[in-house]
Structure 1
């Protein structure tokens, strides 16, 4: 009688456990969705340059691999499908040199070439199979009246499933370590930075009192184990004592400093880079920090001191223009931004900022230049929603509502708002001549967005 009164709860319990298990595995397998991407011309160019020899060593085409910077203070990197390596900003600001970041990128390329994201499903299927078998056994025991025994069986099954999955991910991590080491060797790049970075992570765990004696409850091998497995391999390589190219290292220190100036509070930036420090990275970091803290004159003074030494540096010019633009002086920003675009003609992000400044002057005489600059920027990088937004403004102010709608549809398509993308694409099709390239593009966006909307409706 007592067992019978509880039996209706058993199916619900099974469903809840299955859902929790599935959610747990999904959390381990998927990156956080709410993270924001940081885009900066100088940083993206540097990351492409330091990764290019590693990408080639991995047998991949550099033009097919993206290195994306995520705004996140934690020290982390990951892949999530495709040929994209995601680096957290905290990893860049914590790295001592470019070689350490190259070691991380080599490891992540190991995940890509190993097909680890695709194979993640194998590990989850095996773990889920273990869990399902023990759940069924537990339900049977509970139905027979042995409630405590059934619950214990299910708990043991979940533990076994999770440990099985963790073992699977540790194997993948070790495989990526070995692949990364081979890529560094083939590229002639030292593994010294890779070891130094693992040691930094290990020291961080020591400071946080994270236990180092139970590697079975971790997604990654213990850092000490990874160092031991790789150090002899790296030391035997002829590149072990090879220094990073000095120009590349100088560029890394600049990028690292500007990122610190951008993501940290001004007080912390000044502690790290006091005004007595007149190095290029220190002044660069302070310029960003002062700008974010609304000290325009101080920010401009730091940038001008940098430009006095390197008058044509496009990234210093870009920052000067950005400060003036974002503090309400778009006309004054134009000269610096035009110079920056001239000095770095293949940097669409700088061109998009110039287009923004031209529009912000509210001077119709600048609209034609803005349209030309923005279309050129989008032609080199059409994945920039902000550039599409600015182009839409130009078309709107010129009275070309159809192409303003198309630019808006492009923007919503990029930020994954299919309902809005569909609506604006269909609006654009009404005003653009049928069969023209712009009309066909609007039709494509409308069709893709309509399919996405229908999928969202089915998934609800």
Structure 2
């Protein structure tokens, strides 16, 4: 899978909501149930890779492309298109295992090595080409320049393919150590191979590509997987059921409603189908139909926190915040999940009832304490502070929000405003000071680049 550098991204909240843009036209999808599933699904692989599960996070990007990558730190990024394409949890685990191989191998950092080698070849060709041109051999000089660029590109691509092969074998090792079958990994590579066939990509040589051909990878990995003791081990049925749920809700959220209803027709009365249709109807602004699907889910599992969360979301976004509070309260009590807590805080504020603001403040303070990288939670907390006349802390919450969104100018302005009203030396003052210092440095750096 591809690897990419990723800049800091803004993060907002709602049950399966769109967040900031880490790359052009891409948005992070955050969802409490999905994040819990990703953590549980990847934990045995993370352990097998010698990493600490709490330090490794798997995020989802709203992108139809079948792709996954790592981009610094211990973060794995999966495209929504990849999850929608995967047939089962084992296929997804195969992809994550491969990406963990990139993390363990330090491939994002080591990519600089391949670039340096390629740059060295390019610089040498420039020197030799310039010398030839100066000596009167213009054609020879241009030929040297062209060959140098081609050699540099070939060197870098070979380096990249070597990293991909290394990650494949590392992923196979993690799957084996975790006691998971490699069938899913092979099956997913076959999907990629079919895509190469459809795109008419030549299958005789991977030269000129950043990745080995899928057929080459399949041939190597088949020899490893088929002799592993876990080759015929079945998937965990509970984990597979959870995968089907998060896949369905993802499809319902990102796909056009008519496509979702074709994939999950009314005749399908399974839990995933109700889930997908609930999101499709809600997305289409049919709250009654969405609520009918949610009721079917809660009839089957009355105290499922994520079904309760969805009920609260549909009610809240349909203009019924007071009715959304009970199911959201129960969902928070069952999970203590900050994303759901933020939605509860939003519902409490949306009632515009002063009696609810004290609870909203407590809920939102707890939410940002457990998940500080959530601009929407900071926005809601700022609303609470402003409502009760605490302008300095409202400014601090706004500074936190803009800092996460990458708006350094507004973060600096808000942090400076917060410091004007906060007592020097307090925790909040020092935090505002930190934001101001970092934001000011970023603003100055941007000015120097102009």
TM category (shorter chain) comes to: over 0.9
Alignment check: 8 A CA contact 1:29 1:120 kept: no
Distance 2:352 2:5 in 1: 44
- Distance 1:149-1:157 versus aligned 2 partners, 3 A rule: same
Structure 2 partner of 1:116: 107
Shift of 1:419: 1.5
Identify the structure with the greater helix proportion.
Answer: 1
1:321-400 → structure 2 map (5 Å cutoff)? 321-345=312-336, 347-400=337-390
For the residue of structure 1 that corresponds to 2:69, the secondary structure is strand
Provide the C-alpha distance between the structure 2 equivalents of 1:313 and 1:392, rounded to a whole number of angstroms.
31
Out of 404, 412, 437, the residue aligned to residue 414 of structure 1 is 404
Give distance in 2, aligned partners of 1:455 and 1:66: 30
Q: Give unmatched runs, 5+ long, in structure 1.
A: 1-26
Measure the CA separation in 2 of the matches of 1:326 and 1:147: 68
* Offset, 1:337: 1.1
Structure 1 residue 459 and structure 2 residue 444: aligned? no
Corresponding residue of 2:10: none
Matched, 1:50 2:49: no
Aligned counterparts of 1:110 and 1:459: Cα–Cα separation in 2: 36
Partners of 2:195 and 2:371 in 1: CA distance: 38
Please state whether the residue corresponding to 1:69 is helix, strand or coil. strand
Gapped regions of structure 2 (runs ≥ 5): 7-21
Deviation at 1:205, TM superposition (A): 1.4
Is the contact made by 2:4 and 2:69 (CA closer than 8 Å) also made in structure 1? no
Q: How many residues align?
A: 433
Report the aligned-residue RMSD: 1.3
Listed as ranges, the matches of 1:230-309 within 5 Å are 230-309=221-300
Instruction: Report Cα offsets for 1:311-335 as digits up to 9, x if no partner.
Output: 0011111111111111221112112
Identify which of structures 1 and 2 has the higher relative contact order when contacts are C-alpha pairs closer than 8 Å and 6+ apart.
Answer: 2
Structure 1 residue 156: deviation in Å? Answer: 1.4
> For the residues of structure 2 that align with 1:128 and 1:415, how far apart are their CA atoms?
34
Q: Which has the larger radius of gyration?
A: 1
Does structure 1 retain, via aligned residues, the 8 Å contact 2:3–2:68? Answer: no
2:431 paired residue number: 441
Normalised by the length of structure 2, the TM-score is 0.94
Distance 1:413 1:245 in 2: 41
Aligned residue for 1:193, secondary structure, equals helix
Q: Which residue of 2 is the match for residue 202 of structure 1?
A: 193
> 1:87 is matched with which residue?
78
Partner of 2:90: 99
Task: Please list the CA deviations of residues 119-140 of structure 1 after superposition, one character each: whole Å capped at 9, or x if unmatched.
Answer: 1111001001111111222222
Residue matched to 1:20:
none
